[in-house]
Amino acid sequence: MDDPMKSVDIEKKSVEKRMDSGMVASTFIKYAAYVVIFFGFLYFLVRYILPMF
């Protein structure tokens, strides 16, 4: 006699977290460059442009 509870198929799922460290590093460098340029521009405004007024 076949018992339906004994013939259970187990489905295994493996979830892989894919993270490209090179992509993360290049994105960090890009935004760090944006921040440096922004603060450089602010420094230029405060140091050279604002004293003219």
Q: 21-35 pLDDT, tens per residue?
A: 889 999 999 999 999
* Mean pLDDT over the full length of the chain: 86
User: What pLDDT is attached to residue 3?
Assistant: 59
Q: Would the pLDDT of 2 be above 70?
A: no
User: What pLDDT is attached to residue 4?
Assistant: 55
User: What pLDDT is attached to residue 1?
Assistant: 52
Region class of 49: left (phi > 0), else alpha (psi between -120 and 50), else beta: alpha
* Per-residue pLDDT tens over the stretch 3-22: 556 667 788 888 877 778 88
